[in-house]
Chains A and B, each alone.
Chain A
Amino acid sequence: MALLELDGLTKRYGGLVAVNQVSMRVETGEVRAVIGPNGAGKTSLFHLITGVVRATEGEVRFDGRKLTGLSSYQICQAGLSRTFQLTSLFPEMTARENARLSAQARLALRWQPYGGAAVFAEAARRGDEALERLGLTDVANRPAGLLSHGDQRLLEVAMALAQRPRILLLDEPTQGLSVEETLSAVETLSGLLADGQLTVLLVEHDMEVVFRLAQKITVLHRGTVIADDVPEVVKADADVQAAYLGGYE
């Protein structure tokens, strides 16, 4: 059984179909990218999976459990941690506090108002570990709002990682970065994925990034899946060429 299964997922806004009958399976340990031109429905798909918007039709199952209809915090608690296309952080907290607050969400004692020292210690340990894996230890004590844009993008990944998710959902991790920043971010991310321990679903429109990181690629075009295979096959696919690579932006 696949870890994450999408089954006929559809979202309509009035007459507009943002996501159309998308079915997909992500196996444990897989790094999967969803690509497509702007407006292809990638971010809508993410919002459907994480419960930010409700599906019109179809179902999301995670480890056999139905997620459709749960609210976004419950879906996160089920083991899916995500980042946002537009960086979303706690700007006045330090990077370390950001990661700590994120990790704290997965600790059993998070509701307890007192005796929090142990919770903080464990959350900070997990947070620091995640910061280190993304090379952010040096800037850990700076307010997140004052970090460079590249570091902010990575901090968001670190926050998701600090939750020790069963699947990591990354929404365009290199969005808005300069060429150099993108290169260094991809370097960091591929190092993170090298050991094959993480299951990742990645939305991206930068093809370089995708071919560098993903083992399997799903291509979305106007809300519909037009290809779903390993990178080499997708690259050669005529439909993809026509829909995407040829007319790229």
Chain B
Amino acid sequence: MTDQYHNEPMLELFIFESMQLIEQMEQLIIANEKFESYDSDAINEIFRIMHTIKGSSAMMLFNNVSTLAHSMEDVFFVLREDKPQNIDSSQLSDLVLEGIDFIKVEIAKIRNGDEAEGDAAALIESLRVFHATIKAQNYTVRDQEMKDTATSQGYSAPKKQQYYISKVRTEPQSYSSSFQATLYFEEDCGMENLRAFGVVNDLGDLVKEYYHIPADLDHEDSAVVIQEQGFTLFLKTDRSLEEIHRTLSQTIYLKDLQLTQVKNCEPFEDLHEERKILLNDSAKIFASSSGERITIDQKESYSSASQQSIISVSVAKLDQLMDLVGEMVIAEAMVTQNPDLKGLELNNFEKAARQLRKITSELQDTVMSVRMVPLTGTFQKMNRTVRDMCKKLNKDVRLELIGQETEVDKNIIEHISDPLMHLIRNSIDHGIEMPSDREMKGKPRWGTITLEAKNAGGDVLIIIRDDGGGFNKAKIMSKAREKGLLQVPEDEITDKEIYNLVFLPGFSTNETVTEFSGRGVGMDVVVKNIEAVGGAITADSVPGKGTTLSLKIPLTLAIIDGMNIKVGDSRYTIPTTAIKESFRPKTTDIIVDPDDNEMIMVRGQCFPILRLHERYHVNTLVNNFADGIIIMVEQDDQTLCIFADELIGQQQVVVKSLPAYIKHTKKVTGLAGCTLLGDGSISLILDIAGLFTVKKTG
């Protein structure tokens, strides 16, 4: 297993590819399950995916994954080749999804640097049973002869893939010539069996009939045999010696190649007894090699059809590019607004500068768009959640997806996937009623959950709507009283405030804790996750009709619209989205309570004031409210008035995180990061949510 540390890039690729394939497959299964049957395209696709995963995981020495993929591949091979009728598609889906989950867990382990040691034996066993069932069904439809072949093969190699009913004709044919080739690989090339398999694969087109020693390339022991005795290949072909020689000598890590023409069929006759198995084996190789080829072809056509041409780039590189572009924007401002140019009449320079400005801003937009990813993947994943929940809870829920093409920054997508899943689980578990209850209420048997995404200015709104029972106001209230979560007098609380109580930590109304939800930790984790990306969540509900949860998340984290303010010599940036208004306060509006907390009365409402210079101990000459400015900010329905010296101006800023060293030293509450201003100076970005906690504790 030490290999994985040497093979970092390979491993990364493996993880990436496998995850992608697995997700693709999951979607296929979910989509097909709805029709309760698998069409041949899907079966082919799944077969190919499993085949690829089998191969790559074997290559990376993750044997448990590879064996499991192998058995799934077996099942789908039968489905593909024999097209059995009356298969239990829901059982099949369950099995395959279980397999997918297993592989996912293992890949997660691998990604975290743990050993993929999970045991899939039970799952493989059930797959085998299923495999046997569909095969047994099949025999009844098939003709006797085929059955004989299959069973006899089954006896001869019970653990092997008995079902590879040879596609090549079993009658020996006379080809123009036969060759015997022995290949030796370099000692340290490793994985000789797979390399030998590659050789066979390469020959696929040229050769009519062949077998090789060792015969079973799937087994790891064969690698040792090849290493010691070389890989011997007998083949019949109508191609010339040169052609075969040329193909074989292209093999990588090839140390020695002996190719001789042998008398027709001699070795084939010698091994007459083994013929059946050998042919079976070669057929298997044929089958799998053709399978592989199809994979490549299909992959290409698939990607060209639906994804244009795509390369995968690591997000770190994109971040770097983003940073560079951000710097360029600043550098551009430094050049074009250079103080040395002041008062000079430079028509040509102005023209060139304008051009530069245009290009840099276009560049910035393009880089931003590169980071944007449609929500499709995240939304599609929810299908699976819904399916599993429905099975477990015996509910009937349909998921409707709207606007899944909405694009969001990659970093944000990663943060909202889990919260979304949790919210949907909650909706199914607590929201949607049992089918019988629904019928009694005159609703359709099946519940509907709508997952909708849409752009709203600089934000993306994700709305999760269900037509379940809705929130129970009384229940929420009593629960909140019980837990002491009420902060507002009970008779003043609005419906909306009641509904939003569910987001508070330690709140859960479901009496029974289920596997999926109800521990009361979920909701506040959801809220935390959403807030981590600068988003917000609100709930609304109509009793008996359903619940609507709205998630407001920013499009991107990398660039924000900010208002720059000045306090003493320091500059701060407040995200414009948080700002409600700014105004010059009148001294008469200021109220000071006995604890010296300053407050301001605005249109009859009282808001706390936070003096930024006091909070961050900045020296400033502006101490009187009349001289400075008040910026009213709002976050999560809380409002705060920030007192600063003056406003500098509004600007789009590139968010940079504080240096690692500073972050290690202390986590400064209320600071979200920093940014570079046009003149090259640094401004600190305020974290409004953080300021509230500061206000409370300090």
Partners in one complex: no
Give A residues with C-beta under 8 Å from B. Answer: none
